[in-house]
Amino acid sequence: MIAKILIALGVIILIFVIVVASRPADFSYRRTATISAPPSAVFPHVNDLHKWQAWSPWAKKDPAAKNTFEGPPAGVGSSMSWAGNNDVGEGTMSVTGSEPDESVRFKLEFRKPFAGTNFADFTFKPEGGQTVVTWTMTGKNTFFFKAFSLFVDCDKMIGGDFEKGLADLKKIVETQGAN
């Protein structure tokens, strides 16, 4: 009887491992917002990491997080490291590409609660008197995150944070434009 239970348990574990291993290795989360301002009014809020505190969804999850900045004030070579509560963890975000009023690319190095490296891109497309801002994060799924994504909709979870951040970015830019 115990042997049959152990065999059944082994088969279940094997099936689980096969299902998890077959999940996609890459992930991509993307959200878009339209802001009533030209790209030149939106771009500085993303390209300058000092300005992220005003609109970043994670800054609101832990306003007491410790942030340190290195490199130039904005653009390629600037970076921000953070250490916060369990909601924001610990890591470093570095600007690796910056095309004025067109795009900003980041390397994200997470240390806590889980180690990992991802990339984020912001693009700014003029559309009439507005800007379509697209925020994308890409990376590789570890075995753990492949398993986690069987039970949690990561696109919805991370995408929800992107939506909040883009909505706050929109408010800030549109309010400044109205002044």
Q: What share of the chain is helix, strand, coil (3-state, %, to 5)?
A: 40, 35, 25
Give the count of domains, the chain: 1
End-to-end CA distance of the chain: 76
Q: Tens digits of per-residue pLDDT, 74-86?
A: 999 999 999 999 8
Q: If you average pLDDT over every residue of the chain, what do you get?
A: 90
Q: Is residue 66 part of a domain?
A: yes
Burial of residue 83 (CB within 10 Å: 0-12, 13-18, 19+) is middle
Residue 157 neighbours by CB distance under 10 Å: 11
Q: Is residue 69 helix, strand or coil?
A: strand
Q: Is residue 158 part of a domain?
A: yes
Residue 126 structural domain: 26-178
pLDDT > 90 fraction of the chain, expressed in percent and rounded:
61
Q: Is residue 12 part of a domain?
A: no
Q: Is residue 51 part of a domain?
A: yes
Q: Is residue 10 part of a domain?
A: no
Q: Is residue 141 part of a domain?
A: yes
Average pLDDT for 101-107: 97
Question: Residue 132 sits in a domain of what CATH number?
Answer: 3.30.530.20
Q: Is the separation of the CB atoms in 158 and 174 below 8 Å?
A: no
What is the pLDDT confidence band of residue 130, given thresholds at 50, 70 and 90? very high
Q: Tens digits of per-residue pLDDT, 16-35?
A: 777 878 787 888 899 999 99
In this predicted structure, the answer to whether residue 167 has a pLDDT above a threshold of 70 is yes
Q: Is residue 14 part of a domain?
A: no
